[in-house]
Structure 1
Amino acid sequence: MRPVVAIVGLGVESSVFSPARTPGFAFLPARGAEVFGRYQYPFLADIDAVDWRGALVGKALPGGVVTARAFAELAEEILERLGAMTLLDGVLYDIHGAMTVEGLDDAEAWLLARIREVVGPQAVVSTSMDLHGNVSRELVRLSDLITCYRTAPHVDVAATKERAARKLAELLTGGGPLPVKAWIPVPVLLAGEQTSTRVEPGRGLYEAVAEVASEPGVTDAAAWVGYAWGDEPRNHAAVVVTGPAEDAVRAGAERLARHFWDARRDFAFVAPTGTLDACLDEALASSARPYAISDSGDNPTAGGAGDVTWGLRRVLARPEFRDPDGPVVIYASLPGPAAVATCLRAGVGATVTVTAGAEVDDRHGGPLTMTGVVHAVREDVPHADTEAVLRVGSVHVILTKERKAYHRESDFTELSLDPRAADVVIVKIGYLEPELYALAADWRLALTPGGVDQDLVHLGHRRIRRPMFPFDPGMADPDLSARIVPPFTGPEE
């Protein structure tokens, strides 16, 4: 009989510096066979040596801390679904790794410990993660295999999940021993916007990850940047190498950890940075079109609430944009359910006055009132529910009923907007996702306030382990020797 493997997991990036809270429904949980359709794992059909079973997988748009009630309810359902399955040979644990839950540290390891109680120590666990996740020793101990993305922006999501699944299937069907695990915590905590693999030193670091993974005696290698807007002892960079040969995994892990530490001062923002006003000045002075600007502090794909009005307020205050015939600007986006409803009722072409934003994060300005012409409306939109475009002067403001990330050209064209013909495209984002990066003639990363403010040193971390770079720039070199974590056999004494 084929080994039976359950697919299970919860994933979200949770900024503790945002006042938002993440409820259970935000995870859009897929159950049973829905797991295969919702998350599109076509490679599972190719790995037919294993009998894959969907349990529950939920992934939420990054946001605030997960409520204790939401996590408890989802965790209980996961355990019930696993308990109802036949004896399991393995678990594909599909997580992000940056989830913070009210009153609970290291939530992903806590959940995996409960899963282990249900499935037993004989089940082999393969954990698949985002490189912006956090890897504690306990998570490594509870996992037999553990890996993460090797690109940022993440263009290898499917490849990473497939690697985790294939390595698990090979281990279950090959009959070999469980791999040795070498874990090294690296006391560095940097934002994703400073560690992109598009440029050095991130590119070289992750090329080295692939090289170590190909060494004899190594099953897989992974390096985690960690999540900069969390505040737990596990929030730091980490390296894990797994494989049958202890000498090989130890050497590989130490090579990667040393590479990361030695490069720590070379990591820089992936684009030129400045204040929002300075970035706008540069955009207007430039002939490059379209010119993209990241409103980075309220980036909803990193954990920002998405409804901070500070950036849009600064844009609308610019005299250059008050005339409808001024430079064409697209701003994405600002949640405002009531504003969207007003636009929907009024219809395209109507002039309306609406108020939006600051329902969740009002620390940087209250709700924003605007008068403009309804340019477009769209219903039944994934994540946003309903969208509207309000033209205020020459600025096309995208309003949403619910938070939505704007990463693709179609996100704009489906709203009768042409980003390629715009002068300036301002998006609540950090580094530009691939489609936006490809269409932008030039771009800047604006350092703006919000729940994922890039000024990490002054944000107010209280619980990370110190010393930590860049919080303690003059710290002594850390111990980067490999910690060999034994195979899981049950609860530690």
Structure 2
Amino acid sequence: MPRRPVIAVAGLACETSSFSPARTLAPAFHPRRGSEIIEKYSFIQAGTALGDAVCWQGSLIGHALPGGVVTRDAFEELTAEILSRLSDISSNSETGIDGLWFDIHGAMCVEGIEDAEAELLRRIRVIVGAETIVSASMDLHGNVSQQLAHQTDLITCYRMAPHEDTMETKERACRHLVEILTSESRERKRPLKAWVQVPILLPGEQTSTRLEPAKGLYQLVPEVEAVPGVLDAAIWVGYVWADEPRNHAVVVVTGWEIDTVATNAKRLAEYFWKVRHDFHFVAPTGSMGDCLDQAFLSRDRPFFISDSGDNPTAGGSGDVTWGLSVVLSRPEFRHNTGPMMIYASIPGPGAVDCMAAAGIGATVTVTAGAEIDNIHHGPLRLTGNVHAIKFGDRDALVEGVLRIGSVFAIITKQRKPYHHESDFTELNLDPRSADIVVVKIGYLEPELFDMAANWMLALTPGGVDQDLARLGHRRICRPMWPFDRKFPHAPNLTPQLIPMSNDPA
């Protein structure tokens, strides 16, 4: 029986805003090690086609909630463990590590390091060697520098925003890797990549694949992938809330024939550039005050409002109090008989401890928010009745609901995204019966989108501000659409052909 190739799994994922004062520490990655990694991904477990075709070995993966820049100490600590575990896997295998699944997001910023994912993979290559086939799976809001493309052999990303194809993408990355390692055609060991930098950098809220032109753009991907000689096609929108030269859109087409991958990469890049004027927000926009005005005028219930500038799933600190301060300043909410509003959420560790100690039904006065990001508004002093308390959430740890007039404000020990109906119902809140629901989010995740009778995107301040001009980018490559509306000449969309770098150092 032939020896099964050994594939190791490693990677760090954290979408990080360089415009947020928050910092991401090592525990935020919730590291999984060894067999814990295999347990996470059913498609590489024993009894599946991919699981049985090769020998999967988990090193370390860490997936942190999006946030502020990762500290250098956190990166070095986690990277050192990844390298140590990969070294052990390699030494325990007769022929070392044949393949690596690089499980990343692609928009991680680390203190003092430029192009963090490329640096992590460079160090990994020193351990596993230049001959190891590396397949990377990424978020379409990640960044693919030329160096990262050089260090990988296969690289792909999500094709949907919201990301309903996360697991499908990861499985595709693994399937391509297994196919290459188990192929009897030795000349196909290392495919070619055609890489194109596209001078566009837009937020996800203008590039959702629910709507045109992103919908049509991403519909071209499977068409290209079906072309003989093409193995994979991918389009990265890039990550707009960090200020590094690698932050821009990218197209990569991977395959076996030079002319084919180059022609099709250029086709995707040129279409992306052609439709740049057509990108727009996924919902009507306005200030928080404008959105509240429209919600009061509308008969649609529940009416959702995205408090977008502090979205914790895009990298916001989660504790900007601007949005909630505007809500609580409105006279419509001052009495219990006012329109029912749910606000999700604001961190307040001391506040939620006080609420838990007082108990449900108690009246308390607490202070919450702005412990990390107080640039836009200070902490809020809140007086209300404790409506609910919940312990044990993975992200929030402890959650409490404080009723202030007709506003049910969710206060958390640590920041948490609210994407699912159960996030509310487990706090004795029914978002379907609310008049208005304000969530710190950008585009609505599927459950919220299906629940909303109507919605608007509030252009609020924070580390992931949708008003890009307010952020103050200084290091991105210019000109860049939409930061620059006039280009001195048409961009060069000629693909760069990239084999894997022969020098892992």
The 5-angstrom pairing of residues 230-269 of structure 1 reads 230-269=242-281
Deviation at 1:467, TM superposition (A): 1.0
Residue aligned with 2:263, SS: helix
Deviation at 1:213, TM superposition (A): 1.1
Q: CA RMSD in A?
A: 0.9
Match of 2:168 among 159, 175, 188: 159
Distance in 2 of aligned mates of 1:43 and 1:83: 21
The 5-angstrom pairing of residues 389-468 of structure 1 reads 389-468=401-480
Aligned to 2:34: 32
Residue aligned with 1:219, SS: strand
Tell me, yes or no, if the aligned pair for 1:420 and 1:439 is still in contact at 8 Å: yes
Match of 1:469 among 481, 486, 490: 481
Aligned to 1:83: 87
AA of the residue aligned to 1:52: W
Aligned to 1:113: 122
Distance in 2 of aligned mates of 1:57 and 1:343: 36
Deviations 1:12-38 (A, max 9, x none): 11101000001111001101111123x
Distance in 2 of aligned mates of 1:491 and 1:286: 59
Tell me, yes or no, if the aligned pair for 1:177 and 1:244 is still in contact at 8 Å: no
Deviation at 1:293, TM superposition (A): 0.2
Deviations 1:369-426 (A, max 9, x none): 1100000000011110000000000000000001100000000000000000000000
Deviation at 1:44, TM superposition (A): 4.2
Match of 1:12 among 11, 14, 18: 14
Residue aligned with 1:53, SS: strand
Residue aligned with 1:7, SS: strand
Residue aligned with 1:215, SS: coil
Q: Do structure 1's residue 139 and structure 2's residue 148 form an aligned pair? A: yes
Q: Do structure 1's residue 21 and structure 2's residue 23 form an aligned pair? A: yes
AA of the residue aligned to 1:125: V
Q: Do structure 1's residue 489 and structure 2's residue 502 form an aligned pair? A: yes
Aligned to 1:128: 137
Q: Do structure 1's residue 326 and structure 2's residue 338 form an aligned pair? A: yes
Aligned to 1:57: 61
Q: Do structure 1's residue 340 and structure 2's residue 323 form an aligned pair? A: no
Residue aligned with 2:83, SS: helix
AA of the residue aligned to 1:304: G
Residue aligned with 1:314, SS: helix
Distance in 2 of aligned mates of 1:201 and 1:43: 35
Deviation at 1:488, TM superposition (A): 3.2
Deviation at 1:246, TM superposition (A): 1.1
Deviations 1:339-393 (A, max 9, x none): 0001101111111111000000001111101100000000011110000000000
Match of 1:195 among 207, 212, 219: 207
AA of the residue aligned to 2:432: R
Identity of aligned residues (%): 61
User: 5+ residue gaps in structure 2?
Assistant: none
Q: Do structure 1's residue 41 and structure 2's residue 53 form an aligned pair? A: no
Q: Do structure 1's residue 384 and structure 2's residue 385 form an aligned pair? A: no
Deviation at 1:43, TM superposition (A): 4.6
Tell me, yes or no, if the aligned pair for 1:389 and 1:399 is still in contact at 8 Å: yes
Tell me, yes or no, if the aligned pair for 2:38 and 2:44 is still in contact at 8 Å: no
Distance in 1 of aligned mates of 2:376 and 2:293: 22
TM-score, normalised on structure 2? Answer: 0.96
Deviation at 1:491, TM superposition (A): 4.1
Aligned to 1:361: 373
Distance in 2 of aligned mates of 1:158 and 1:379: 29
Deviation at 1:66, TM superposition (A): 0.5
TM-score, normalised on structure 1? Answer: 0.98
Residue aligned with 2:74, SS: helix
Tell me, yes or no, if the aligned pair for 1:332 and 1:428 is still in contact at 8 Å: yes
Deviation at 1:472, TM superposition (A): 1.3
AA of the residue aligned to 2:138: M
Deviations 1:114-136 (A, max 9, x none): 10010011110000000000000
Tell me, yes or no, if the aligned pair for 2:24 and 2:67 is still in contact at 8 Å: yes
Q: Hey, which bits of structure 1, 4+ residues long, moved more than 6 A?
A: none
Deviation at 1:487, TM superposition (A): 2.9
AA of the residue aligned to 2:381: T
Aligned to 2:220: 208
Q: How many residues align?
A: 491
Distance in 2 of aligned mates of 1:61 and 1:384: 11
Q: Do structure 1's residue 480 and structure 2's residue 481 form an aligned pair? A: no
Aligned to 1:169: 178
Deviation at 1:461, TM superposition (A): 0.7
Tell me, yes or no, if the aligned pair for 2:181 and 2:189 is still in contact at 8 Å: no
User: 5+ residue gaps in structure 1?
Assistant: none
Tell me, yes or no, if the aligned pair for 1:14 and 1:66 is still in contact at 8 Å: yes
Deviation at 1:40, TM superposition (A): 3.2
Distance in 2 of aligned mates of 1:459 and 1:483: 31
